[in-house]
Structure 1
């Protein structure tokens, strides 16, 4: 081992060479001076544009704010122009138009009172008949035999009556004769009693026979009346509206389920029944004029008069039944026609008429806006009847009040308004 080698286990510090120093990098050569000035110019232009945009935005915001404030101010100071209508007092009459149906003044089903077959038929549907005119004849040969039998029985009862009367007369004479002999003692008292009681018995038999004769006479009358019923006659002047029999048809007398032979209607006077609502029933009385109109006859009206009233309202409909008679000499009206009836009923309580366009409806009820000295006042109203373009009310307004027509939705009580003048007529 050489002397330069350290012995084992001896730590020998390492010897490092000193660090090398690097020479500084020389700066690059300066760029063109004009290039630096362009950068500064672009930066300034960008700053200027940004400031201008901010200023423009602030200006637009200010303009919009000013417009909003002006609008709000104008809205606070805005006085809307409104159209108005005038409240007027209702007239002394209530005009009511109600639907109705015409009916014949009299209508009857003609049934058979005699059983048999129809021998002849003299009328048909649409035939005009007079009172007592023969409509049909019924044949029943057995009825003639019944009448003959009843008449024969009547003869028997009358003969029996005469016989009983003769026996009674004989008993009377015998009793009167024997009574003198009994008083003189020539006949016994018993014989006198027999004669007296025999006379009284025959006297009662005469009464019974007389009653039998009367009963049989009534039976004959009934059968003869049945014979008369074989001639079916019209009970009143009218027109045949229905026929249910023909020649040869079998008809039954007094059958519960029998069908009427004819239906006869009197149509020279038309009866109209209508139901008047409760709000119009007060003031309705016989004699109130009525005008009847038929849609198919628009150029003609039919005057009539209220003739009968039920005098009690129907509780389920709150209506009053009224009847109107309309003269129909030319037959222009027929039973069963739909029509309308106009009534002019005297008013019992005053009311006011408000234009329908002025009514405000909301969850609180019905109101109107009344204009007083340029100020709108919301008032509650009490409706009586809706007349379509107008409303009849009983409270809330006064005659002559000016109410706003079609009021704005944002109108409030106390808002100022300006009445728009009416357009001049053209």
Structure 2
């Protein structure tokens, strides 16, 4: 092979178009092709990233939407009470005997001898009245009685004389009967005069206001010189007297507990101002009927008060022993008020809400004692929404699952 042939093999033939040779390829053209390829790759990668990002965002939004659509609630498991617990009820201390003291006679207050807080004995003098009208009426009645007595003496003498005359037939029977009638009339007049004197003497004795029983003065409503009107219609009481030992405590027992109280049961009375000092009393009287407006039974407790620590009129709490069956306690913030009555929202195993009609046995403040309507295993929603209704689906918050009332 010749050198020309070798030379022709080493040098590539030039491309031709329509018989014309093209210019040789340059490095710039190659670089441009590479740049175009790189740009296309970057665009493809960017588009792929956008698509993937949109898919991820859509899934995240869907998950958040589903999560936000869930209604989380806190629940509590009812606590079962002891069957032999005490029923705590409000009560009012009253004196064993309480009485306002009114005047029985009209007059002016001359002097008072006791003030509020004074301990008095039965029959002790509390005040004196000045009664000039009664004094004059009594003097007049005594004088009239004396006149009647003198007239009776004359009628008696005349009647006896005419009896003697009648025996001698000196006077007629008609005349004797007239003398006897006059005598009998004067006897009756004297009896009436004596009764009037006694009445006024009794009124005169009412000038002295005395204590009807032993106790403590709780009110004094008059002062020296006050005009006193007799009676209790429109007049004010002079004093108020209360017997502070023993005391009475009046308690309203709910109808649900009324079948288990008996006369003679021992109760414990406490007063907030005397913390840690229980007082023991006895149920002495029970009303024979349920009060219709309150559906409660009134109890009367007799409470010894020898040291006078307890005062009439004070608010106390009375713990009455209960023999009722065990009940369920739920927090008061679980209660729903509906037009049909009180309800509790209970969640079942599928997360569905059921509104239960309940009967509240007792309101204990922070807790409610439920008579019927729920079971010990129910999960009761705490702080339920006012819009919650039967059939709603909720999710129990993990922190409150199977939480028991403390």
| TM norm. shorter chain > 0.5 | yes
Aligned to 2:239: 262
Kindly indicate whether residue 198 of structure 2 is the aligned counterpart of residue 205 of structure 1. no
Aligned to 2:119: 128
Aligned to 2:9: none
Aligned to 1:17: none
Aligned to 1:51: 44
Decide whether aligned partners of structure 1 residues 307 and 59 sit closer, same or farther in structure 2, where only a CA change above 3 A counts.
same
Query: In structure 1, what is the Cα distance between the partners aligned to 2:320 and 2:48?
Result: 78
Aligned to 1:108: 99
Displacement of 1:169? 2.7
| Other structure's SS at 2:308 match | coil
Q: Which runs of 5+ in 1 are unaligned?
A: 1-26, 76-81, 179-190
1:280-328 per-position Cα deviation (integer Å, ceiling 9, x unaligned): 4444444444332222211212223333344344444434443333222
Superposition map of 1:108-257 within 5 A: 108-140=99-131, 143-178=134-169, 195-254=172-231, 256-257=233-234
If the length of structure 1 is used for normalisation, what is the TM-score? 0.68
Query: In structure 1, what is the Cα distance between the partners aligned to 2:105 and 2:75?
Result: 78
Instruction: Give the aligned length.
Output: 361
| Other structure's SS at 1:307 match | strand
Q: In 2, are the aligned partners of 1:269 and 1:325 still within 8 Å (CA)?
A: yes
Superposition map of 1:4-403 within 5 A: 33-56=26-49, 85=77, 88=80, 91-92=83-84, 95-98=87-90, 100-140=91-131, 143-178=134-169, 195-254=172-231, 256-347=233-324, 350=325, 352-353=327-328, 355-356=330-331, 365-369=343-347, 381-385=356-360, 387=364, 388-389=366-367, 391-397=369-375, 402-403=377-378
| Other structure's SS at 1:273 match | strand
If the length of structure 2 is used for normalisation, what is the TM-score? 0.71
Query: In structure 1, what is the Cα distance between the partners aligned to 2:78 and 2:26?
Result: 90
Decide whether aligned partners of structure 1 residues 167 and 422 sit closer, same or farther in structure 2, where only a CA change above 3 A counts.
closer
Greater radius of gyration (CA): 1
1:89-132 per-position Cα deviation (integer Å, ceiling 9, x unaligned): 7515562333x433323222222223334333221222111000
Decide whether aligned partners of structure 1 residues 88 and 173 sit closer, same or farther in structure 2, where only a CA change above 3 A counts.
same
Query: In structure 2, what is the Cα distance between the partners aligned to 1:316 and 1:219?
Result: 50
Query: In structure 2, what is the Cα distance between the partners aligned to 1:357 and 1:242?
Result: 42
Q: In 2, are the aligned partners of 1:351 and 1:394 still within 8 Å (CA)?
A: no
Q: In 2, are the aligned partners of 1:113 and 1:253 still within 8 Å (CA)?
A: yes
Aligned to 1:181: none
1:338-373 per-position Cα deviation (integer Å, ceiling 9, x unaligned): 3333333443xx4642554997969895353567xx
Decide whether aligned partners of structure 1 residues 300 and 376 sit closer, same or farther in structure 2, where only a CA change above 3 A counts.
same
Query: In structure 1, what is the Cα distance between the partners aligned to 2:356 and 2:260?
Result: 24
Decide whether aligned partners of structure 1 residues 108 and 402 sit closer, same or farther in structure 2, where only a CA change above 3 A counts.
closer
1:212-266 per-position Cα deviation (integer Å, ceiling 9, x unaligned): 1111111111122122222221111111222233344443444853332222222
Query: In structure 2, what is the Cα distance between the partners aligned to 1:84 and 1:219?
Result: 80
1:365-423 per-position Cα deviation (integer Å, ceiling 9, x unaligned): 5353567xxx88977644222554464242453xxx5344769999969x9x9x98999
Query: In structure 2, what is the Cα distance between the partners aligned to 1:63 and 1:320?
Result: 69
Query: In structure 1, what is the Cα distance between the partners aligned to 2:268 and 2:194?
Result: 57
Decide whether aligned partners of structure 1 residues 91 and 51 sit closer, same or farther in structure 2, where only a CA change above 3 A counts.
same
Displacement of 1:195? 1.6
| Other structure's SS at 1:299 match | coil
| Other structure's SS at 2:42 match | helix
1:169-206 per-position Cα deviation (integer Å, ceiling 9, x unaligned): 3333333443xxxxxxxxxxxx8xx6222222222222
Decide whether aligned partners of structure 1 residues 420 and 250 sit closer, same or farther in structure 2, where only a CA change above 3 A counts.
closer
Which stretch shows the higher mean deviation, 254-263 or 54-63? 54-63
Query: In structure 2, what is the Cα distance between the partners aligned to 1:421 and 1:310?
Result: 44
